[in-house]
Chain A
Amino acid sequence: MTAVTTSSGDLQSVPALLARNVAKYGDKPAYREKEFGIWQSWTWAESAEEIRAIALGFLVLGLERGDHVAIIGRNRPAHYWSMVAAQMCGAVPVPLYQDAVAEEMAYVLEHCGARFVVCGDQEQVDKVIDVQETVSGIEHVIYNDKRGLRKYDHSHLNWLKDVEAEGRAAEVRLGEELDARIAELNYDSTCVMLYTSGTTGKPKGVVMSNRNIIETSKNSSEFDGLRQSDDVLAYLPMAWVGDYIFSIGQAYWCGFCVNCPESANTMMTDLREIGPSYFFAPPRVFEGQLTNVMIRMEDAGKFKKKLFDKYMAHAKKVGPAILDGKPVSGADKFKYWLGNLFVFGPLKNTLGFSNVRVGYTAGEAIGPEIFDFYRSLGINLKQLYGQTEASVFITQQKDDEVDPNTVGTPTPGVELRIDEDTREVFYRSPGVFVEYFKNADSTASTKDAEGWVATGDAGFIETNGQLRIIDRAKDVGNMANGDMFAPKFVENKLKFFPDILETVVFGNGKEMCTAFINIDLTAVGNWAERNNIAYASYQELAGHPQVLDTIQAHVEEVNRSVAEDSMLSGCQIHRFLVLHKELDADDGELTRTRKVRRGIIEEKYHDLVTALYDGSTKVSTETEVTYEDGRKGSIKATLELRDAAVVPVASNKVAAE
Chain B
Amino acid sequence: MSVEQMTTTGVPAEPYVTADGRQIGNVLMEMKNITLRFGGVVAISDISFDIREGEIRAIIGPNGAGKSSMLNVISGFYVPTEGEVWFRGSKRPQMKPYQVAQQGLARTFQNIALFKGMSTLDNIMTGRMTRMKTNMLQQAMWWGKAQKEEGEHREAVEKIIDFLEIQAIRKTPVGRLPYGLQKRVELGRALAAEPDILLLDEPMAGMNVEEKEDMSRFILDVNDEFGTTIALIEHDMGVVMDLSDRVVVMDYGRKIGDGTPDEVRNNQEVIDAYLGVEHD
Seen from chain A, the residues whose Cβ lies within 8 Å of a Cβ on chain B are: 35-38, 147-148, 150-151, 262-263, 265-266, 269, 627-629
A151→B213 contact, CB < 8 A: no
Which of the residues B159, B168, B224 comes within 8 Å of A263, measured between beta carbons? B168
Closest to A633 in B: B209
**Cβ contacts under 8 Å, B165 to chain A:** 263
* A629 to B216 alpha-carbon distance, docked (Å): 14
* A266 to B221 alpha-carbon distance, docked (Å): 22
Which of the residues B155, B168, B210, B213 comes within 8 Å of A265, measured between beta carbons? B168
Describe A's contact surface by its main secondary structure. Answer: loop
**Cβ contacts under 8 Å, B225 to chain A:** 147-148, 150
**Cβ contacts under 8 Å, A262 to chain B:** 167
A148→B224 contact, CB < 8 A: yes
**Cβ contacts under 8 Å, B221 to chain A:** 147-148
**Cβ contacts under 8 Å, B210 to chain A:** 627-628
Closest to A36 in B: B158
**Cβ contacts under 8 Å, A38 to chain B:** 158
Excluding A36-B158, A37-B170, 13 further A-B contacts by CB distance (< 8 Å) are A36-B155, A36-B162, A37-B154, A147-B221, A148-B221, A148-B224, A148-B225, A150-B225, A151-B21, A151-B22, A263-B167, A266-B168, A627-B210
* A474 to B167 alpha-carbon distance, docked (Å): 44
A151-B159 contact, Cβ under 8 Å, with A263-B165, A263-B168, A266-B167: no
Nearest 7 Cβ contacts at the A-B interface: A265-B168, A36-B158, A151-B21, A266-B168, A262-B167, A37-B158, A266-B167
Instruction: Annotate B232-265 by CB proximity to A: 1 below 8 A, 0 otherwise.
Output: 0000000000000000000000000000000000
Q: In chain B, residues 165-224, which have Cβ atoms closer than 8 Å to a Cβ of chain A?
A: 165, 167-168, 170, 210, 213, 221, 224
**Cβ contacts under 8 Å, A37 to chain B:** 154, 158, 161, 167, 170
**Cβ contacts under 8 Å, A148 to chain B:** 221, 224-225
Seen from chain B, the residues whose Cβ lies within 8 Å of a Cβ on chain A are: 20-22, 154-155, 158-159, 161-163, 165, 167-168, 170, 210, 213, 221, 224-225
* A150 to B227 alpha-carbon distance, docked (Å): 12
CB distance from A460 to the nearest CB of B (A): 44
* A25 to B152 alpha-carbon distance, docked (Å): 34
B224→A151 contact, CB < 8 A: yes
Closest to A37 in B: B158
**Cβ contacts under 8 Å, A628 to chain B:** 210
CB distance from A633 to the nearest CB of B (A): 10
> Residue among B21, B159, B168, B213 with the most chain A CB within 10 A?
B168
CB pairs A–B below 8 angstroms (9 shown): A36-B161, A37-B158, A37-B161, A147-B225, A151-B20, A263-B168, A269-B168, A628-B210, A629-B213
* A263 to B162 alpha-carbon distance, docked (Å): 9
Closest to B17 in A: A151
* A515 to B76 alpha-carbon distance, docked (Å): 63
**Cβ contacts under 8 Å, B161 to chain A:** 36-37
**Cβ contacts under 8 Å, A269 to chain B:** 168
**Cβ contacts under 8 Å, A266 to chain B:** 167-168
> Residue among B20, B167, B225 with the most chain A CB within 10 A?
B167
CB distance from A446 to the nearest CB of B (A): 41
**Cβ contacts under 8 Å, A265 to chain B:** 167-168
CB distance from B172 to the nearest CB of A (A): 10
CB distance from B213 to the nearest CB of A (A): 7
* A266 to B224 alpha-carbon distance, docked (Å): 27
Closest to A268 in B: B168
CB distance from B14 to the nearest CB of A (A): 21
**Cβ contacts under 8 Å, B20 to chain A:** 151
> Residue among B158, B159, B162, B213 with the most chain A CB within 10 A?
B162
* A148 to B223 alpha-carbon distance, docked (Å): 10
Closest to B221 in A: A148
* A497 to B213 alpha-carbon distance, docked (Å): 36
CB distance from B163 to the nearest CB of A (A): 7
**Cβ contacts under 8 Å, B154 to chain A:** 37
* A629 to B159 alpha-carbon distance, docked (Å): 26
CB distance from B259 to the nearest CB of A (A): 24
A147→B163 contact, CB < 8 A: yes
**Cβ contacts under 8 Å, B170 to chain A:** 37
* A322 to B21 alpha-carbon distance, docked (Å): 66
**Cβ contacts under 8 Å, B168 to chain A:** 263, 265-266, 269
* A504 to B229 alpha-carbon distance, docked (Å): 53
Closest to A146 in B: B225
**Cβ contacts under 8 Å, A629 to chain B:** 213
Closest to B121 in A: A37
CB distance from B245 to the nearest CB of A (A): 15
Closest to B168 in A: A265
* A36 to B155 alpha-carbon distance, docked (Å): 7
CB distance from B12 to the nearest CB of A (A): 19
Closest to A153 in B: B21
Which of the residues B159, B162, B213, B224 comes within 8 Å of A150, measured between beta carbons? B224
* A106 to B260 alpha-carbon distance, docked (Å): 37
Closest to A38 in B: B158
Closest to B169 in A: A265
* A513 to B92 alpha-carbon distance, docked (Å): 77
* A394 to B142 alpha-carbon distance, docked (Å): 58
* A266 to B22 alpha-carbon distance, docked (Å): 33
* A35 to B159 alpha-carbon distance, docked (Å): 9
CB distance from B128 to the nearest CB of A (A): 15
* A274 to B224 alpha-carbon distance, docked (Å): 35
CB distance from A272 to the nearest CB of B (A): 12
* A38 to B167 alpha-carbon distance, docked (Å): 11
**Cβ contacts under 8 Å, B167 to chain A:** 37, 262-263, 265-266
CB distance from A233 to the nearest CB of B (A): 15
* A265 to B163 alpha-carbon distance, docked (Å): 15
* A262 to B224 alpha-carbon distance, docked (Å): 24
CB distance from A235 to the nearest CB of B (A): 13
CB distance from B224 to the nearest CB of A (A): 7
CB distance from A475 to the nearest CB of B (A): 35
* A629 to B214 alpha-carbon distance, docked (Å): 11
CB distance from A155 to the nearest CB of B (A): 14
Closest to A628 in B: B210
CB distance from A451 to the nearest CB of B (A): 46
**Cβ contacts under 8 Å, A151 to chain B:** 20-22, 224
**Cβ contacts under 8 Å, B158 to chain A:** 36-38
CB distance from B100 to the nearest CB of A (A): 29
* A263 to B20 alpha-carbon distance, docked (Å): 29
**Cβ contacts under 8 Å, A147 to chain B:** 163, 221, 225
* A151 to B168 alpha-carbon distance, docked (Å): 29
Closest to A267 in B: B168
* A151 to B18 alpha-carbon distance, docked (Å): 11
* A269 to B168 alpha-carbon distance, docked (Å): 8
Which of the residues B21, B22, B159, B213 comes within 8 Å of A36, measured between beta carbons? B159
**Cβ contacts under 8 Å, A627 to chain B:** 210
Closest to B22 in A: A151
**Cβ contacts under 8 Å, B155 to chain A:** 36
CB distance from B15 to the nearest CB of A (A): 17
Closest to B161 in A: A37
* A79 to B2 alpha-carbon distance, docked (Å): 59
CB distance from B211 to the nearest CB of A (A): 12
* A151 to B22 alpha-carbon distance, docked (Å): 8
CB distance from B223 to the nearest CB of A (A): 11
**Cβ contacts under 8 Å, B159 to chain A:** 36
Closest to B170 in A: A37
CB distance from A468 to the nearest CB of B (A): 39
* A628 to B210 alpha-carbon distance, docked (Å): 9
CB distance from B142 to the nearest CB of A (A): 19
* A629 to B154 alpha-carbon distance, docked (Å): 33
* A263 to B167 alpha-carbon distance, docked (Å): 7
* A616 to B210 alpha-carbon distance, docked (Å): 37
* A31 to B159 alpha-carbon distance, docked (Å): 22
* A151 to B21 alpha-carbon distance, docked (Å): 6
* A628 to B213 alpha-carbon distance, docked (Å): 11
Closest to A145 in B: B162
* A262 to B171 alpha-carbon distance, docked (Å): 14
**Cβ contacts under 8 Å, A35 to chain B:** 162
* A174 to B224 alpha-carbon distance, docked (Å): 37
